[in-house]
Amino acid sequence: MASLQVSGMVVSGSSSSFCSHKSSVRATINGPKIRIGPLSLPRLSSKDFIEELSIRSGGYGIPVTTQMEKGSGPKTSSSDPVVVAKLYAIMEAVADRIEMHKNIGEQRDNWNHLLLSSIHAMTLTAATMCGLAAASASGEPLAGLKVSSTILYLAATGMLAIMNKIQPSQLAEEQRNAARLFKQLHGQIQTLLSVGSPTVSDVNEATENVLALDKAYPLPLLGAMLERYPSSVEPAVWWPQQRRKQAKGIGRKIEGNGWNRELEDEMREIVGVLKRKDKADYLRLSGKALKAHKVLAFSGPLLTGLGALGSAFVGTTNPWAVILGVAGGALASVVNAMEHGGQVGMIFEMYRSNAGFFKLMEESIESNINETNVWGRENGQVYEMKVALQLGRSLSGLKNLAASSSLRNIEEDTEEEFGSKLF
């Protein structure tokens, strides 16, 4: 119930007089009491800001997720804004690297197809001209065909030597690997900004990863190109080399942060399998591919050079001149098709990169299990899941692999399976 008293002035209709009147009005109002609270302003949406950050970081269809959207976990806003700005700057550089390696990879793949087609056409044309010059109806070799055949053979020899030196198919594979690894780094930085609290050490680590990838997969050809025919095969390395932490027996803590002795033993068995089977097998395959690579790279220019020599002496009394001029070109076409059409250089690089992948897994696992303080490691349960997915296995399959490896150490005649189900 509420009482309302109103005092007012009553104004008459006459202009000459005013009358003051006071009245009391008592009114009874039935209804709920109305309380006026503080004004509520609409919250500003972060969607536009997020879209702007996504555009500035390069896009690539990977949305930038913030803790305001996720609603849980440590918030990026609590981190140093300078650190966050640096990470976004690194993301922009990584996005630019992705685009550069993608474009250059396509360009070098086109080099392989165009150069191979041109050398094939030149070699077969030179062999045909050499045969026509030797079989001329007048009994004398046609000088024009003879000279043209020799010139085409010499040009094909020079172009083939350059092509074997740079190996466009291998260059294209390097750029594809670089683009894929830079995309992984781009996603890792985004995840760190979304669900973590980045620090200066994270900025330094991201910078080192970018520089290590630049060194492992250089963009220029002159002066920075990787060696095409190394004396020994080593796994590809695209991560910064750090000093390994040595485990200490005294005061070493095993339990906590998702880790226990059983998980440590399981990871040790996985490392042993990767060293004995997966990495060793890909290094063996890389060695075979390298040997075939060297033989084919040497044989192609040699055969076209012999073809040029034979075509130059067509018409002499030596019958081997025609054989070298025609058969040399035919054999050179076969060798070039096997080397560059089969992309032997790309196969060698692929095997070398796969061996590097298993080496990286070994170092990562050993770095975690050698850390004396379990809270300085990655969470054990999360890490176990990551290892299983990287090897194309389920968690139960990973445990079975470790158990079978342990059984093999006891029974020597037991055949060991490969760790990875992907490659």
pLDDT in the model for residue 177: 95
Is residue 380 one of the residues assigned to a domain?
yes
Residue-level length of the chain? 423
Provide the domain limits for residue 280. 81-235+258-409
pLDDT at 141: 61
Q: Which residues contact 46 (CB under 8 A, 6 or more apart)?
A: 66, 68, 69
CA gyration radius, the chain: 37
Is 395 strand, coil or helix?
A: helix
pLDDT along the chain (423 residues), means of 10: 39 38 40 43 41 40 36 50 94 96 94 94 93 70 84 95 93 95 95 88 94 93 85 91 50 74 92 92 94 94 93 80 91 94 93 94 91 86 93 92 78 73 79
**Residue 416 domain-assigned?**
no
Q: Please state the domain count of the chain.
A: 1
Cα distances from 411 to residues 117, 271, 404, 406, 415, in angstroms, run 55, 19, 10, 9, 9
The CA dihedral of 218, 224, 226, 228, to the nearest 10 degrees, is: 140
Q: Residue 351 domain-assigned?
A: yes
Residue with tokens 């930038």: 64
The C-alpha angle 203, 212, 288, rounded to 5 degrees, equals: 150
**Burial of residue 379, with CB atoms counted within 10 A of its CB: 0-12 exposed, 13-18 middle, 19 or more buried:** middle
Q: Answer yes or no: is 69 within a domain.
A: no
| 335 lies in some domain | yes
Is residue 11, in this structure, part of any structural domain at all?
no
Residue 399 lies in a domain: yes
In a domain, 200, yes or no: yes
Residue 197 in tokens: 């609290």
CA dihedral 170, 175, 176, 178 (to 10 degrees): 130
Amino acid residing at 419: G
Q: For residue 294, what pLDDT is reported? A: 94
- For residue 233, the tally of other CB atoms under 10 A from its CB is 19
For position 33, what pLDDT does the model report?
44
